[in-house]
Amino acid sequence: MPALALPAVCDFSITNVCNAACDFCSFARDKTIAGPARYVDGEAFSRVLPILFRRRIRYMTLQGGEPLVHPQIVRLVSQTTGAGIACAVITNGWFLPRYIASLAAAGLERLIISIDSTKLGEHERNRGLDGLGRRIAQGIERAHALGVPVQASVTVNRLVCYDELPDMLRRLGFDDVAFSYPRREPLGSSSLVYGESDLVDLGRDELLAAIDAIGRVRKQFPVLNPRASLAEVARYVRGEDQKVPCIGGYKYFYLDWNLDIWRCEAWNEPLGSVFDFDRMPAQRDPCNACMMGCYRNASMLMHAAVAATDAARSLTAGQVGNAISTLFRRSVAQSLGALAAELPKMRRQARRRRRAAACNEVPSGAPANNRAEAS
């Protein structure tokens, strides 16, 4: 089927354990909602990877909780890259000085670090981790020396001064930033990246002002949220119809430590066990029920390619009219515009990934899944 030629993305929560105490996250160490500690089993993880690859998963982010508390984190990264899937890790940064060299040697393609405030003292207080800023700076410096690109992940909240953010991110050494949007209610899935907090209890006008401010940040620092995606989120906040349906359940998935596969982190029930993933149909019914940034961004950038593959399928079936109407929707033009605007950044990211691969090249004959062991 032509659509299957498109790569897909998976966010994998490998543990529900976290060492931080973030005010607006229910994974926090001082909250009880996460329940008993869970870590994905390393052997089961290795059996999952071929299944994900067959479903065209080519990009995976290991998350949590805090993924660096997983005792086999380096091995998990090595297995992922060895399976032909580009691997990123999103972390609070506390354990980076211990792990970054091993992660780079394991083939880590992108390091993502959460930042909550433009003032490191405020960020440390919200995370409940004194000295975190120093550890983040050390980790970024070492990551760059090893050729690993570093992205900041910033949740829209009241600790962020957007006019000061570009300078702060440059001082720490970040290459770019992606913004996510606050959730105050349960996501529906096993993910707990939400929490009741005054820091994220933003009203309509505050959210719209934050989206405008992100647009200003784009003029001073590389922002991975496309303008078209920001406009989609603004329409959502205003209660207007969105233009591009989410690709969650089709080209973007969420996987948890129980090895349940979900349409997305906001969905209220899993699709089933990941071991049955090969038999699960793609979820194509349009959905715009939330404003999760990662899904919004990917949906906007992939929408034109999805439309092209759908049109090709219609042509194969002799449905010329359907093919034409699919390709000439306004949303396809918006997606193409977003792709054109983001292409320079995507090329820079590709060059960084090639440099990272060159810096951490495995000696000839070394097994891919033995590139590194945990410290």
Q: Is the separation of the CB atoms in 59 and 131 below 8 Å?
A: no
Alpha carbon distance 287, 222 (integer Å): 29
Residue 375 in domain: no
Exposed/middle/buried for residue 301 (C-beta within 10 Å: 0-12, 13-18, 19+): buried
Q: Give the number of domains in the chain.
A: 1
Alpha carbon distance 202, 184 (integer Å): 10
Indicate yes or no: pTM above 0.85: yes
**Cα angle 23-29-32, degrees, rounded to a multiple of 5:** 95
Sheet strands side by side (includes 57-63): 176-180, 150-155, 110-115, 86-91, 57-63, 8-13, 252-255, 260-262, 272-273
Tell me: the pLDDT tens digits for 90-124?
A: 999 999 999 999 999 999 999 999 999 999 999 99
> Can you count the helices (H) and strands (E) in the chain?
11, 9
Residue 294 in domain: yes
Residue 374 in domain: no
Residue 320 in domain: yes
Query: 261 — phi, psi (to 5°)?
Result: -100, 135
Range with lowest mean pLDDT among 73-77, 245-249, 307-311, 337-341: 337-341
Query: Alpha helices of 119-249 — where are they, by DSSP H?
Result: 120-127, 132-145, 165-172, 204-217, 227-238
Tell me which residue range forms the domain holding 154: 2-369
Quick one: pLDDT at residue 374? 35
pLDDT band at 283 (very low <50, low <70, confident <90, very high): very high
Tell me: the pLDDT tens digits for 313-351?
A: 888 899 988 889 888 888 888 888 888 887 777 677 667
Provide the CATH number for the domain around residue 207.
3.20.20.70
For residue 151, count other CB atoms closer than 10 A to its CB. 20
Torsion over CA of 227, 230, 231 and 233, rounded to 10 degrees?
160
pLDDT band at 362 (very low <50, low <70, confident <90, very high): very low
- Within 8 A by CB and 6+ apart from 343, the residues are none
Residue 178 in domain: yes
